[in-house]
Each structure stands twice: as C-alpha cells, then as structure tokens.
C-alpha cells in the first residue's frame, strides 16, 4: 500500500472532492484499521489485499492467537457453523485447521469482505452466507459437530453491553436450539462475564475457558455439550470424562507466529480447576512477609477467577496477602505458578521510596487506596521493568509496600 504510513487526515484533505476510481473514505478506513490491528492480525495483514468490511468489524476481530486456540480446541475434520462471523478471523482460522465451515453474517459489507479475504488467502473450505443464523437453525434439519458463536455485544439500540442476555443473538434464550443442531457449542463472551451467573444461565456447561493473551484477559469461552464432555479428546486427554463439575481452564496465550494458521498455540501458563474446590485460604500476616521470600503475582486471567482458594489448594504452603489481591508469598519456589514470580528485595519506607525518584519501575496497586498511576506520580518513577513496586493491603488491614 503506497500510503500505509501516511497521515489519513491529510489524505482526506488532499483528495477531498477529487474524482477517484475508489472511495477515498474507505481507503482511509482500510489504512486506519490495518494500523489498529497490526499486532493482532499479523498473518492476515501480510497479504496486501486483505480488506475490512467496516471499522467495527476490525475493532471486534479476534486476536489471531486466540483464534488459533479456538481452532485447536475444535480439532480437525469437523463440520462447523459460525453464527456471527464478522471479519471472519475465527471462521477462517477454524477452516484453515482442516474443518468445513459455514459462516453466517448479517451485514452485507462484512459478507463481501469475508468472501474476498477467504478467496485471496486460499481458504477454500468455507461457505459465507448473508443472513440470520438463528432463522437458519429454526428452519433447517442440518446437524453440525460444533457451533461457534460470538454474540454482538451491542443491543438493538447499538448500545454497548456485556450481559449475554442483552447481546445478539441471545444465546441463553436459544441454547436448546443450538444444542439441537450441534454436539458442541462454543460461546465467546465478554471478559467481564460473571462466571457464577453463567453457570446458572446454562444447563449443559461442560467447561469454561478464561483466555488471556500476554496477561490481558480477552474473553470467557463457554463450552456447552449434552453428550460428550469435551470437544477434542486429544486436547483434554488428561481430564476425567465423568467430571461432575464444569472444568474451568485458565489459560494465558503467547504469540504463535510460527504456528499460525494451523498449529499449536503457545501457552504461557495453564491452570485447571473445578467449582468443587473446598480449600481454605491461608493468609499471610505482615510479620510473615519478609525479604528473601518468593513473591507471586497471579496472572490477569487467574485474578478474573478470584483465585486465592484455587492457589492455596494447589500450593498448600503458599499464603495470600488478601483474598482479592492476587498476591502470594512462599518460602518455596513453584516454577509452574500461573503468573509472575519474583523475590522480595525490600519493604521500603517513605524516605526510601523517595530515593527511587527517576528509576525505572513497574508499579502494581492491589487492594490499596492509591492507584498505580498516582503512586508513580507521587514518587516520580519512570515506566520500566527493572523492578516492581507493589502496594497492597493484607487480610488484617495492614498496608504494605514491597519491592521486588
């Protein structure tokens, strides 16, 4: 693209009112969306002909590493229905993984873009349909191995929403319809989804995946199934097939540039648990937090799980600083901990904190009345990863500053 690095506002002014063989506004939108998605759609954007149907479809597009995880979970040689294709990153990745995909989309612009992109990328085993997938399921007798659906997180008034009941389509109301037409249903939901409420809303939850990418929670993926508990026996071979509680998988993904589009996604950590955990949280007193101990910071997807009970169940001698802090201490090194591991170097006083002025420091505020940005400003700390300053409050209400 000749103007890939140009100022799009300057381009709009330069070509305003001039007769062009294409829409200047659409060309500028394509440039802007390529920039916005450059880090999450790397493989797709290598093709200069890749196009975006709408700016919204670009903003809502799945990160390609997360899409690769979806494809691996579904497996190979499956008939898959994508009910809400959008830009089609999931649909094309699932197809590239050796599945036959039917992708439904309501908006004509997105349909045209998906058909175009599938053509130029050589995705041959995908059929793109313009239409309402719910009506399709209501009128057909077809059966799929898996239905994948990413409900639009906007209601009929185009207002942003996070509850599945307010999203389109309403997968809670239509769950029986979906399960009547597929052995497995995968529902991609907001990272803000309430997992406890989700288990109340759905009758056939087999597993729930809390997915993050580079320590940023991207989605909660709900797996429904009436008969078989897991999508891919190879993926979940270590799980009991008679598991009576929904299995919760907490997974943090890394970049998988060499695996895409058909391979195994890179996983930074994985933590499996069930609602059946009845462990007691072990809390650390301020006196038990000392220099030289191992300090553990749970990853973002673990904190979404509110993980203190699960962590204390898995690592019996680990102590939580408080129930919701996501911070733990132990004299033992656990290399498989799902998050960041460091060593306590100091518990600086106010004067010692002022001496950090100008140093590069990552700041974390957890269960503390002052935000990380305010602490950074107060102590004049620069952005960096040289060390980490934790500000937190213990279970008994004591405020601590910890430097690792």
pLDDT, mean of residues 149-173 = 79
User: pLDDT tens across 47-88, in order?
Assistant: 999 999 988 888 899 999 999 999 999 999 999 999 999 999
Peptide bond into 28 cis (omega under 30): no
**Phi, psi at 30, each rounded to 5°:** -60, -40
Per-residue confidence band for 167, with pLDDT thresholds at 50, 70 and 90: confident
Sign of CA dihedral 271, 275, 276, 278: positive
To 10 degrees, what angle do helices 24-36 and 8-15 make? 170
Going by C-beta distance under 8 Å and a sequence separation of 6 or more, which residues neighbour residue 295? 327, 328, 329, 341, 342, 343, 344, 390, 402, 404
CA-to-CA separations, 204 to 165, 179, 184, 222, 240, in angstroms, rounded: 17, 9, 10, 10, 17
**Which among 258, 269, 237, 189 has a CA at the least distance from the CA of 75?**
237
pLDDT, mean of residues 371-395 = 95
Percent of the chain that is helix, strand, coil (3-state, to 5) = 30, 25, 45
Edge to edge, the sheet with strand 388-393 lists: 362-366, 388-393, 399-403
User: pLDDT tens across 294-310, in order?
Assistant: 999 999 999 988 788 88
To 10 degrees, what angle do helices 89-96 and 108-120 make? 30
User: pLDDT tens across 104-145, in order?
Assistant: 999 999 999 999 999 999 999 999 999 999 999 999 999 999
Instruction: Identify the pLDDT of residue 231.
Output: 59
pLDDT at 215 over 70: yes
pLDDT, mean of residues 312-318 = 90
Q: Which residue has the higher pLDDT, 401 or 158?
A: 401
Q: Which residue has the higher pLDDT, 239 or 40?
A: 40
pLDDT at 13 over 60: no
């Amino acid at each position: 693209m000749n103007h890939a690095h140009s100022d799009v506002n300057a381009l709009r002014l330069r070509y305003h009112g001039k007769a062009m063989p294409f829409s200047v506004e659409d060309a500028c939108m394509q440039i802007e969306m390529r920039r916005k998605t450059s880090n999450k759609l790397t493989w797709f954007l290598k093709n200069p002909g890749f196009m975006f149907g709408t700016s919204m479809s670009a903003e809502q597009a799945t990160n390609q590493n997360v899409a690769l995880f979806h494809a691996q979970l579904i497996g190979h040689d499956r008939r898959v229905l994508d009910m809400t294709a959008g830009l089609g990153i999931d649909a094309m990745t699932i197809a590239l993984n050796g599945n036959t995909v039917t992708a439904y989309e309501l908006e004509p612009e997105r349909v045209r873009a998906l058909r175009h992109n599938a053509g130029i990328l050589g995705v041959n085993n995908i059929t793109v349909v313009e239409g309402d997938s719910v009506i399709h399921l209501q009128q057909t007798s077809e059966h799929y191995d898996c239905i994948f659906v990413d409900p639009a997180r906007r209601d009929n008034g185009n207002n942003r929403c996070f509850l599945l009941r307010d999203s389109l389509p309403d997968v809670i109301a239509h769950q029986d319809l979906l399960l009547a037409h597929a052995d497995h249903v995968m529902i991609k939901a907001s990272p803000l989804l309430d997992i406890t409420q989700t288990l109340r809303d759905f009758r056939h939850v087999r597993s729930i995946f809390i997915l993050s990418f580079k320590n940023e929670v991207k989605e909660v993926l709900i797996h429904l199934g009436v008969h078989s508990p897991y999508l891919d026996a190879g993926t979940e071979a270590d799980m009991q097939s008679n598991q009576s509680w929904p299995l919760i998988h907490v997974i943090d993904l890394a970049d998988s540039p060499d695996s895409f589009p058909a391979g195994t996604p890179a996983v930074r950590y994985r933590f499996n648990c069930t609602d059946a955990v009845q462990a007691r949280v072990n809390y650390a007193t301020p006196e038990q937090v000392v220099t030289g101990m191992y300090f553990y910071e749970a990853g973002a997807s673990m904190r979404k799980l509110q993980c203190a009970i699960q962590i204390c169940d898995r690592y019996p001698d680990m102590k939580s600083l408080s129930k919701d802090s996501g911070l733990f201490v132990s004299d033992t090194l656990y290399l498989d901990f799902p998050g960041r591991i460091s060593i306590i170097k100091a518990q600086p006083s106010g004067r010692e904190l002022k001496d950090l002025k100008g140093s590069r420091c990552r700041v974390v505020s957890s269960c503390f009345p002052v935000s990380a940005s305010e602490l950074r400003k107060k102590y004049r700390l620069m952005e960096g990863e040289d060390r980490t300053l934790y500000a937190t409050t213990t279970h008994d209400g004591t405020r601590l500053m910890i430097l690792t």
